[in-house]
Chain A
Amino acid sequence: MGNVPGKLENEGVARPNRSMSASAAQTPSGRNGTTTAGARSQRTSSLVGTLLSSRRRSSSSEVNGNGNPYKRKSTKDKEKMEERHVKQLIVKYNETVDGGFLAPFGSCGTDKLDYDAKVVKNLIMERRLAPFYTPLQDFDDSWSREEVIKIIEALPLHAPFNENLETFEDVPIGDLSQNDIDHLIDKTLSRREQRRMRSKIFKARLYKKRIIWQERENERFFESKIEGKQSKLQSNPNLPSDDLKYAMYSSGAECPICFLYYPQPINMSRCCLQPICSECFVQIKRAEPHFPHDEEDPSNPQDEEKDPNMLTSEPTNCPYCATPDFGITYEAPADRKVGLQGLAPSSYVYHKKDSPEQDSVPRTPDRRGSLASTDQRVVTSDSLRPDWQVKLNKERMRLARRSANATAIHVSNQLVTPGHQASAGVTSTSAPRSNSNDNAVEFQHSSPTPLWPANATAAEIENHMIEQAIKLSLAEHERENSPKKR
């Protein structure tokens, strides 16, 4: 899993491909039910084509790994995934790298940290991304060594949290040790409102749980510190020595984005060599999928009327120089390799360097020039959220489904209700009649043997189409791969 980001970068999960629809328009056209519905359904079917081609492009690891990422997950599965993600954002005091941690302090809140926690943890352990250090609000050069150590000693693992959030004030959270929350939902509400209530209860519970998990970890941290103080011989090897605390914080730097003070070395932008802390870096991500030039022209047509294939999301830009495809490099401190895959943090001894020339520890030369986003040393924004392509396709599907819905309503008005059908032929708004090639007529011919049950909703039909497309593509994928594998 460790080199997944690099792999994704190199093999390219592909940039948003604006010409997708061109290759995708070749869906089976014999299906009268869908061809007649006009431009909208063409978009829908071309979207299926998009999915087919994107499935073909995606790497086999994705297919074998978590199964089909396009498959709809149940609410419970989604909740489980979210809870697992939040758990991974809890700082563990005994999982350290070079004096920092694998999870963020949470200066800007943690509910928006939606990066892939597994990927980030691995990058930190590989020393390709700076660990999440505990920041200082300020640093004063006049502080003595003892003062610095004292201040670092008192730092908590997590940023303080608001215990009682207003938004969750009246939400029943029940017994947090029980996983089932069905009984908390007011069954007299409509289905949609029940769903909304469930999501609110889930969020409120997760918020509380997060605070509990953080406090538990904080307590462990402080307890082990106290134990270490009481019996000097048996101090916890995961806790930093005083030398380490001082070495880290006495020569730190301010991150130009959050203005917080962090130990050095810090991540450097690949393009213009500007510093950025890890907590800021993981927050920089692609904008939500949008249509090109949405911003410039507020008098745009409705989303439903646009081609879902046009939906794009551009790679992030460097915040400092606007170079596209933002990425960073990190050069771990060679003389401070402690924690995971290093020495015990408690055993670290500070070697004072009198001058750079006398530096006994050979250090890799610092980078001077800029690097390409494909360089092996570079960690890009995209690599922290390897599912961005899936997200984009899902959003395209959602839009397509919406326009398919509109199409279905249109079609069913003409087709399903016989009375309506008859009158539709008479009113001037309907298509010209009496031509045997006319779409409406063709549609009527096919209606006695519909491909779907008459009461199927457009969403169901669309889902079915997409399922079929994915099945086809998976089968194709297996056919393509099996001879190579053996």
Chain B
Amino acid sequence: MASLPKRIIKETERLVSDPVPGITAQPHEDNLRYFQVTIEGPQQSPYESGVFQLELFLPDDYPMEAPKVRFLTKIYHPNIDRLGRICLDVLKTNWSPALQIRTVLLSVQALLASPNPNDPLANDVAEDWIRNEDAAIAKAREWTQLYAK
């Protein structure tokens, strides 16, 4: 593999020296483009008090191409599917090379605080969410207790 671009080195350094509250990102020893990430569920959300594991990978074309991010912890959320894939505009069409790992993870955290069932990735969850929001939120809370401890 080619040497690591300056940008990735600097971003990693800043993530460690100036961490984002509620978020950790640790590069893998063998592959410095692969990060193990944890995100704390935002307060007053059904994910509160949960700690979610994610993986983040910086493709060869990063930052021209968006990082690949996926939930490893099971989560009940209309914009996150069973495989942990995330429906988030900044990870897809609205990615910009001026965004960073930090901003992406903050966006994921914000997505936990405000699920958007009208632009779903997990259709069944979104349907539940629209049909009976209270029940869906209760289920999300339950899953947080079960899987994100």
Contacts and interface: CB of A to CB of B under 8 A. Distances in A.
B64 A258 contact: no
A257 B8 CA distance: 11
Contact of B97 (A162, A287, A296, A319): A319
B6 A137 contact: yes
A174 interface: no
Give the interface centre of A108, A280, A284, A298 by most chain B CB atoms within 10 Å: A108
A260 interface: yes
Contacts of B11: 259
B3 interface: yes
Given A256-B98, A317-B96, A284 B6 contact: no
Interface of B: 1-3, 5-7, 10-11, 60-61, 63-64, 87, 92-94, 96-98, 119, 121, 123
A257 B2 contact: no
A322 interface: yes
A137 B63 CA distance: 17
Contacts of A260: 6-7
Nearest to A299: B123
Contact of B6 (A107, A160, A317): A107
B2 A320 contact: no
Chain B interface SS verdict (over half) = loop
Given A257-B63, A284-B97, A317-B96, A108 B119 contact: no
Contacts of A108: 5, 61, 64
Contacts of B92: 295
A162 B2 contact: yes
A324 interface: no
B6 to A, nearest CB: 5
Contacts, number: 48
B84 to A, nearest CB: 14
Contacts of A295: 92-93
A274 B96 CA distance: 14
A385 B5 CA distance: 25
Interface in A247-288: 256-260, 274, 280, 283-284, 287
Contacts of A319: 96-98
Contact of B64 (A256, A284, A299): A284
A162 B3 CA distance: 9
Contacts of A160: 3
A109 interface: yes
B26 to A, nearest CB: 20
Contact of A320 (B1, B5, B96): B96
A112 interface: yes
Contacts of A258: 5-7, 63
Give the interface centre of B3, B87, B93 by most chain A CB atoms within 10 Å: B93
A322 B90 CA distance: 12
Contacts of A257: 7, 63, 97-98
10 contacts: A108-B5, A109-B60, A162-B1, A256-B98, A257-B63, A257-B98, A259-B11, A280-B97, A284-B97, A298-B121
Contact of A259 (B3, B7, B61, B96): B7
B12 to A, nearest CB: 11
Contacts of B119: 296
Nearest to B119: A296
A479 to B, nearest CB: 43
Contacts of A284: 64, 97
A256 to B, nearest CB: 6
Contacts of B7: 257-260
A345 to B, nearest CB: 26
A112 B96 contact: no
A409 to B, nearest CB: 33
A456 to B, nearest CB: 40
A78 to B, nearest CB: 23
Given A284-B64, A296-B119, A259 B98 contact: no
Contacts of B87: 296
Contacts of B123: 299
A465 to B, nearest CB: 34
B5 A112 contact: no
Given A259-B7, A280-B97, A319-B98, 7 more contacts: A257-B7, A258-B6, A274-B98, A283-B64, A299-B123, A317-B96, A322-B96
A246 B8 CA distance: 28
> Which 8 pairs show the lowest CB-CB distances between chains A and B?
A319-B98, A319-B96, A259-B7, A295-B92, A257-B97, A259-B10, A319-B97, A259-B6
Interface in A105-143: 107-109, 112, 137
B96 A107 contact: no
